[in-house]
Structures are given as structure tokens and as C-alpha cells.
Amino acid sequence: MNKTITLQEIDPIEILGVNNKLFDQFKSYFPQLKATSRGNEIFLVGGDEQIALFEDKLNLLINKRMSKMSLNSYDVESLFETADASKEVGKVDMLSNSEYIIVYGNDGKCVKARTPNQKRLVKEYYDNDLIFALGPAGTGKTYTAIALAVRALKNREVKRLILTRPAVEAGERLGFLPGDLKDKLDPYLQPLYDALQDMIPAKKLQAFMEDGTIQIAPLAYMRGRTLDKAFVILDEAQNTSLGQLKMFLTRMGNDAKFIVTGDATQIDLPHKSDSGLVRGVELVKDIRGIAVVNFTKEDIVRHPLVTKIIDAFEKEKKEGQED
């Protein structure tokens, strides 16, 4: 059987990739078909069932493109890792080992999802534009989120990467630190710099920050902005009020990805009841396009003592509540 598929109302390069890179990857899943492309037409020769399956998968890929700025090899792979991809576009029920590799950092360092909920965060990234990653310290919530953001930037899925935190002191007073406002805030934002420095060469990172491609700023600086084609991460969200969280979430523009990370057990606000994270998640968690990933102690990837330390503090807290 011969079949000609015409790509209409879309630039073929957006589906086939530069130099047909995505098309070559796509057709490799159909070894029994002869598939070639010319302009906006795809020519198929093979059995009826294989051609029908090829068309179904291609339509899923086209629909996926409509929901994001650009396609990449992960989008193609996800179509064929799904038990029944026709039921839900882009849904990944099971990722291959290679897909857990998020990005290659400096010196070829492989940054990948290592724990169950880190892997789930990667899966949810495919299908949701807003993800809440919640749980205790040391679980890799922020690091995994930043790795996804760097990958999106490298794959040109977004034009900007914005990392933000609420400027709340963790027991210290920023006002007593030397220097201007930037000097005072930079140490507080240092964990975000550290993660970026693992994944982007120093000179390139500096260039990105100078031209605004990568921005690191306190949450207050987000007010009034509309963030289009951006990957935005709000870290330490347990230190936001409900109003601040609403302000941040409503900054989302077209073709944007937002990830919010936080730990409700580490609130640094003067009055812990002022934290709006838990209430905010409850208000929006059932909205389509929003996912919540709850990390646990089993996801801790720091020193083994971190798990024991968290257990000790949780035990003390429970005993205090019982007294």
C-alpha cells in the first residue's frame, strides 16, 4: 500500500526537525515501512496496519507540538514508551533508562532522575505546565526542577529561565549583611547558582545572566510581569503567603512552564500560619494541567544521616504536640 500524508497549516520543520532529525528518529520505530519526506509531504510504502499506526503516532506528535514551543527527541520517544499513547497525548507511563537522563552537565556529568518521585517529576513535566514538587530537604526537588529547566533552555523549548525565592530570612537578618540589595540577596539565592553551575559552563552561565536569558531574583521582583516562553521555578514556596503564591502563579504567560518547590515543615515566616503553600495547592490541585508530586524521606539523596536527622526532628515535633 502507498500513502501520502500532507502536513497542513504547520511548518514541516517543526515536526520533522532540522535536517529531518526528528523524522529519522520517528520512522526508526517503523522498520517495516519505507518512509520518505519531501517538502510538506510524507510518502509511505508498507502494510495497512503499520501505515495506520504511523498516522496515529504522527497525529499525536503534531498535537504535542500544538501544546509547546518546540519538539525534541524526548517527545518522540514518549509516544512509543506509552502503553496506549492514543488515549492521552504525551502521557508517559514508563520511561526508559535513557529518558531518566535529564541533561548532561559540565565535564559530561550526567544529571538524571534517581528516585521514584524525581522520576515522577520528569514524567509530569511532559503533560503539565504547572507542577508542585513538595517534600523534605535533600530529596532533589529543586535540583531536578533546575535540570529540567536547563534542558528546556538547551532544547529551545523556552527562551528564558527564571529562578526565584521569597526573600525570607532563615533565622538570620539580611539587613545586617554588608553591601547593596544584590549583595545581601545573593547568598540567600546561592543554592540556585550552585545547581546552575553544575550544568552550565561558567562563561556561558555568566553570558546568559548578563543578557537576561537566565534570571535569579527574589519573589517580589515577579510582581507585574507576564512570563511568556519561560521556564520559571519558585523555590522555598513554603515561605510565601497565599497572596504571594497567587501573584506568582498568575505571572504565567504563553508557552511557559512553572515548577513550585517547597517543604511545609521548614517554614521561616514569623507566623507559620501565614504560609499559603498548603492551602494554595489544595485550591488548584484538581485543575487540568497542574500536577502535584509529593516527595518523601525515601527520595533523600544527600548524606544518609539526613534521613535520620529528619526522623529525629519529626519525632520531637510529634512528642511536643502530644504534651
Asked if residue 310 and residue 194 are part of one domain, the reply reads: yes
41, containing H or E segment: strand 41-45
pLDDT digits (tens, 9 = 90+) for 109-121: 788 888 889 999 9
Nearest Cα to Cα of residue 144 among 46, 235, 12: 235
Residue that terminates a domain, selected from 51, 81, 111: 81
Question: Does the residue 25 lie in any domain?
Answer: yes
What's the pTM?
A: 0.65
pLDDT digits (tens, 9 = 90+) for 67-99: 666 788 777 877 876 433 333 333 333 444 555
Asked if residue 168 and residue 240 are part of one domain, the reply reads: yes
Asked if residue 214 and residue 146 are part of one domain, the reply reads: yes
CATH number at residue 18: 3.30.1370.10
pLDDT digits (tens, 9 = 90+) for 15-26: 998 888 899 999
Return the pLDDT at 84.
39
Enclosing domain of residue 196:
101-322
Asked if residue 24 and residue 166 are part of one domain, the reply reads: no
Angle at 58 between CA 117 and CA 147, to 5 degrees: 30
CATH number at residue 127: 3.40.50.300
Nearest Cα to Cα of residue 267 among 244, 239, 294, 237: 239
Asked if residue 77 and residue 127 are part of one domain, the reply reads: no
DSSP secondary structure letter of residue 96: -
3-state secondary structure of 93: coil
Question: Does the residue 191 lie in any domain?
Answer: yes
Question: Does the residue 174 lie in any domain?
Answer: yes
How many domains, the chain? 2
Query: 511532559: which residue's cell?
Result: 126
Spatial strand order in the sheet of 2-6: 2-6, 41-45, 34-38
What residues are paired with 207 via a beta bridge? none
